[in-house]
């Protein structure tokens, strides 16, 4: 089994320091993540059924360079005002650990890009090379020249940051062109806000695939998780080095992540999923629970990962392979179900 870890969840927004690098222009206050008020609305024709990116149009254009580079991308939710896209790739290090990197896009009802966020990978904050490698080709696909400007500004940002003596503040820089305002931060990566369009009510649904935390917490405790909800949104399972954490909108689960061990010997699974979840994955809606469970069990039996859509639900499984001896092997699975709300 893997030792317990403290995970940096991709939906946890981080406060930016209000400091400008020498020679760079920064706003008096950095924009909030997510922008103020975008989720303070009642349901507006919400759909939380994930869909593949349709060919043609802005969504396919901005995500195309990422999928060509091995990313998984999907439309994860929509409403009357816009559509939210979510892309993700896992970077493996020498120890076989996976550092997820994501990109988020928000399109308006007229298929125009209104907002985008390219945060750095979870375990490598400040890695602007990876941020630029994602943002530059994605935005160049719809805004010619945007990628060259991003690369130039990032180079200047890195050069200025290397010369800074004050390390108490988070370095950041900002610029704009005819299409958008850009904010680059050493902590939060690149945030892009279009200048000619906006979405007032951002899509916020999750009911297709998830239940509420209050309805699921007793079943998590029954499986050995140490949960104190509310307010705790992260639970640990000491006996298996497991974790369970969620992003929420109110009590509604928006995305869930958990880690489990899988020990397979001679084709027989010695650590069944039911040890952690004796009542099943009850944090998922009945509509998707069986299909998602079957997909995770397939990954456990084979010790392999997965990134895709299962019954309208985003499912990500990162399998870190243990020592292999013939048909016997041990894997640790990091599982994500659903995508967090844009900007969180």
pLDDT digits (tens, 9 = 90+) for 14-69: 333 333 333 344 444 667 899 999 999 998 999 999 999 999 999 999 999 999 99
Return the closest-CA partner of residue 334 out of 99, 66, 70, 121: 99
DSSP for 174-189 reads: EEE-SSEEEEEETTTE
Helix/strand/coil (H/E/C) assignment for every residue in 31-77 = CCCCCCCCCCCCCCCCECCCECCCCCHHHHHHHHHHHHCCCEEEEEE
pLDDT at position 10, please?
Answer: 34
> In this predicted model, what pLDDT tens digit does every residue of 239-260 receive, in sequence order?
888 899 999 999 999 999 999 8
- CA–CA dist 206, 218 (Å, integer): 21
**What angle in degrees, to the nearest 10, is found between the helix axes of 57-68 and 128-140?**
140
Global pTM reads 0.88
Cα three-residue angle 115-119-124, rounded to 5 degrees: 175
Give the pair of three-digit tokens for residue 196. Answer: 């000619």
Average pLDDT over residues 333-339: 96
State the Cα torsion 117-122-126-127 to the nearest 10°.
-90
Q: What DSSP state is assigned to residue 80?
A: S
Rg of the chain taking only CA atoms, in angstroms:
21
> In this predicted model, what pLDDT tens digit does every residue of 148-164 receive, in sequence order?
999 999 999 888 887 77
Answer whether residue 87 shows pLDDT above 80.
Answer: yes
Token pair 């927004």 in the structure block, residue:
13
- CA–CA dist 161, 46 (Å, integer): 42
- CA–CA dist 299, 262 (Å, integer): 9
- CA–CA dist 240, 328 (Å, integer): 19
Decide: 26 and 265 in contact? Cβ < 8 Å.
Answer: no
Lowest mean pLDDT among 25-34, 80-89, 135-144, 301-310: 25-34
pLDDT at position 24, please?
Answer: 45
Decide: 75 and 90 in contact? Cβ < 8 Å.
Answer: no
Answer whether residue 5 shows pLDDT above 70.
Answer: no
- CA–CA dist 168, 174 (Å, integer): 19
Q: Which helix (H) or strand (E) holds 89?
A: strand 82-92
Answer whether residue 266 shows pLDDT above 80.
Answer: no
CA atoms within 13 A on the CB side of 70: 8
pLDDT at position 22, please?
Answer: 34
Average pLDDT, the chain: 86
- CA–CA dist 115, 105 (Å, integer): 6
Average pLDDT over residues 113-124: 88
């Amino acid at each position: 089994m893997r030792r317990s870890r403290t995970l940096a969840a991709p939906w946890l927004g981080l406060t930016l320091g209000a400091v400008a690098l020498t020679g760079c222009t920064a706003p008096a206050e950095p924009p909030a993540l997510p922008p103020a008020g975008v989720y303070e609305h009642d349901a507006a024709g919400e759909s939380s059924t994930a869909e593949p990116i349709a060919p043609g149009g802005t969504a396919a254009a901005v995500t195309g360079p990422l999928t060509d580079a091995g990313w998984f991308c999907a439309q994860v939710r929509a409403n009357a005002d816009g559509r939210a896209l979510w892309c993700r790739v896992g970077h493996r290090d020498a120890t076989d650990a996976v550092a997820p990197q994501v990109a988020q896009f928000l399109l308006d009802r007229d298929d125009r890009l209104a907002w985008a966020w390219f945060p750095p990978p979870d375990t490598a904050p400040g890695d602007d090379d990876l941020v630029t490698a994602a943002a530059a080709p994605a935005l160049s696909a719809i805004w010619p020249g945007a990628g060259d400007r991003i690369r130039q500004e990032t180079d200047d940002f890195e050069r200025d940051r290397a010369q800074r003596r004050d390390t108490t503040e988070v370095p950041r820089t900002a610029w704009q062109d005819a299409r958008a305002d850009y904010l680059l931060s050493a902590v939060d990566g690149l945030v892009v806000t279009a200048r000619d369009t906006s979405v007032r009510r951002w899509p916020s649904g999750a009911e297709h695939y998830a239940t509420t935390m209050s309805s699921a917490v007793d079943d998590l405790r029954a499986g050995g998780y140490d949960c104190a909800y509310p307010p705790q949104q992260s639970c640990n399972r000491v006996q298996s080095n497991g974790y369970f954490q969620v992003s929420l909108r109110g009590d509604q689960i928006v995305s869930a992540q958990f880690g489990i061990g899988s020990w397979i010997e001679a084709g027989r699974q010695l650590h069944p999923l039911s040890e952690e979840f004796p009542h099943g994955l009850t944090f998922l809606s009945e509509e998707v629970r069986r299909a998602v469970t079957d997909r995770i069990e397939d990954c456990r039996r084979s010790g392999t990962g997965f990134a895709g859509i299962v019954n309208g639900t985003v499912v990500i499984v990162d399998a870190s392979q243990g020592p292999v001896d013939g048909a016997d092997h041990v894997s640790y699975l990091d599982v994500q179900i659903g995508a967090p709300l844009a900007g969180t």
